[in-house]
Structure 1
Amino acid sequence: MRYVVFNQKGGVGKSTITCNLAAISAQQGRRTLVVDLDGQGNSTRYLLGADADAAVEGAAGFFGESLKFTVRPKDSAEFIMETPWEGLHIMPASAELEELHGKLESRYKIYKLRDALAQLESSYDDVYIDTPPALNFYTRSALIAAQRCLIPFDCDDFSRRALYTLMENVQEIQADHNRGLEVGGIVVNQFQPRANLPQRLVQELIAEGLPVLQPYLSASVKIKESHELARPMIHMDARHKLTQEFLALHEEVARPA
């Protein structure tokens, strides 16, 4: 299954959700790939730690290759590297993605990622694509390449307002480019059950018939420690409440439609 984690708002936990779900997939014996399309490289640093600085060309190299004419183009697998976690690989991000954006968009390379992941289908059971906080070339490429879209929601009124536009954007991609894309659900992140606003916002989304997934991911300082140590929760503290929530969420998002 190919998942895209998408929200045009920054700071909603896209990289955290991407990496933790991917780490669980790999830990459960599934061959798993993370594709980091965000030039900030948060997923890359989360999974590689200090080794991120010595990473292969990754996503920038892959897209850069599509702008050249070569007799022997590199195979997509050459832009992928192992992480410290067995069965988990990554196509890392770098700042060069921003430099390539305009050229890729003008030369309509929007289907390149879809084609590459189709070629890698026999190598990976699951692919998780982390996207930048914008509806740009990379995000559209990811939505076109994916089968299921997960939408992080951080219990903020600005996020709620952006959610409707985001759903419209996904529907447009479905209609024009990828009829197989489905909304896997809204992932509630940084949830505080004792606070009134998060509870009210989530209940309103449910009342509107939007596909809100359970369980909700709790707000926890442990996730910041996880980022700092470059260890996904399943590898840092398997018994922690948040880890258990990620495990239950993984089971939910992996269910057949």
Structure 2
Amino acid sequence: MKRVVFNRKGGVGKSTIVCNLAAVAAASGKSVLVVDLDPQANTTAYLGHSGKDNVVGIAEFMESTISRNYREFTSEDYIRKTRFENLSLISASYALVELESKLEAKHKIYKLRDFLNNLHEEFDEIYIDTPPALNFFTLSALIAADRCILPYDCDVFAREAMLDLTEELEEIIEDHNDNLLIEGVVVNQFQARAKLPQQAVAQLAKDKFKLLKPFISASVKVKESHAECMPLIYLSPKHKVTQEFVELYKSLSRKPRRKQ
């Protein structure tokens, strides 16, 4: 299973969702890989590493496909163990920014898919974080993945963007990856007692989006987990938001049905 978390809007919690779902999976005994494709490297930092470390990561893999020396490397050259059991990482760095135009010019859009497909015996689940843009790296992730979830932060301006996003994903599925299942929308930073988030979610439901349950509540505990570079299942396993991620993971782990 290869799951990508994607939204063109920044600040919706992509990295938080990727890391916490991956951590829940790892804590349950699954062998899990996280792939960070965002040059900001927030996911890399959340899992206790730095995008400035002098290590081989996703940028180096992408660069190797241009220089055609990727056959000299094995997957172990790019994969780093984290301090969390069963959880590995392919880190991001700002070097991705400089590579994008070169990769597009060389038509390397399918290389990530081919690389990750070779890891199916090594990892039970792969989670991919993406930049807040539909660029080369995001498209590579959507081609490589077989499942996709869409974070939504109840922002008043986000609805139209979600509708546009759905159309873009349908086109990508038709043109590049007909195995990609859109699992639904993860409502993030939800405030149950506030009127505006309730209205925003109700409107999404009217628009026929599949809203995944439970919603992820807004909580300072999430920011604390960022500061500690420790996903919630390790930092505070009994906290309300932690349990929401646990239940969300369980709901996603049920046999998917191919409809939104």
Q: TM-score, normalized by length of structure 1?
A: 0.97
Mapped to 2, the partners of 1:138 and 1:52 lie a distance apart of 16
Q: Distance in 2 between matches of 1:182 and 1:142?
A: 13
Pairing of 1:140-219 with structure 2 (within 5 A) = 140-219=139-218
Residues 65 and 73, structure 1, Cα contact 8 Å, conserved in 2: no
Deviations 1:13-67 (A, max 9, x none): 0000000000011000000000000000000000024x55436221101101100
- 1:222 to partner: Cα distance: 0.6
Query: How many correspondences in the alignment?
Result: 256
Q: CA deviation at 1:208?
A: 2.3
Match of 1:252 in 2: 251
Query: What is aligned with 1:98?
Result: 97
> What SS does structure 2 have at the residue aligned with 1:3?
strand
Q: How does 1:62-77 map to 2 (within 5 A)?
A: 62-70=61-69, 72-77=71-76
Q: Which residue of 1 aligns with 2:30?
A: 30
Q: Which amino acid aligns with 1:146?
A: A
Q: AA paired with 2:67?
A: K
Say whether 1:45 aligns with 2:45: yes
Matches within 5 A, 1:214-229: 214-229=213-228
- Tell me if the contact between 2:64 and 2:70 (Cα under 8 Å) persists in the aligned partners: no
1:157 shift after superposition: 1.8
- Tell me how far 1:168 sits from its aligned partner: 1.0
Q: What is residue 79 of structure 2 aligned with on the other side?
A: 80
Aligned counterparts of 1:254 and 1:222: Cα–Cα separation in 2: 25
CA deviation profile, 1:62-111 (whole Å, cap 9, x unmatched): 10110013384212331110000010000000000001000001111000
- Contact 1:77–1:120 (CA under 8 A) maintained in structure 2: no
Partners of 2:192 and 2:29 lie apart in 1 by 33
Whether the 8 Å contact between 1:56 and 1:81 is mirrored in structure 2 is: no
**Partner SS state of residue 67, structure 1:** helix
Conserved? CA contact 2:113–2:143, under 8 Å: yes
Q: Following the alignment from structure 1 to structure 2, what is the Cα–Cα distance between the partners of residues 179 and 109?
A: 19
Give the fraction of aligned pairs with identical amino acids, expressed as a percent: 50
Specify whether residues 95 and 71 from structure 1 end up closer, same or farther in structure 2 by C-alpha distance, changes over 3 A only.
closer
If the length of structure 2 is used for normalisation, what is the TM-score? 0.96
Instruction: List gaps (5 residues or longer) in structure 1.
Output: none
Structure 1 runs of 4+ with >6 Å offset: none
Tell me if 1:243 matches 2:239: no
Shift of 1:201: 1.0
* 1:212-251 Cα shifts (integer Å, max 9, x gaps): 1010000001111100000100000000000000000111
Residue 15 (structure 1) aligned with residue 15 (structure 2): yes
**SS in structure 2 of the partner of residue 84 of structure 1:** coil
Q: What is aligned with 1:111?
A: 110
- 1:103-130 deviations in Å (ceiling 9; x for gaps): 0011110000000011011100000000
Q: Distance in 2 between matches of 1:71 and 1:201?
A: 46
Q: Distance in 2 between matches of 1:88 and 1:171?
A: 31
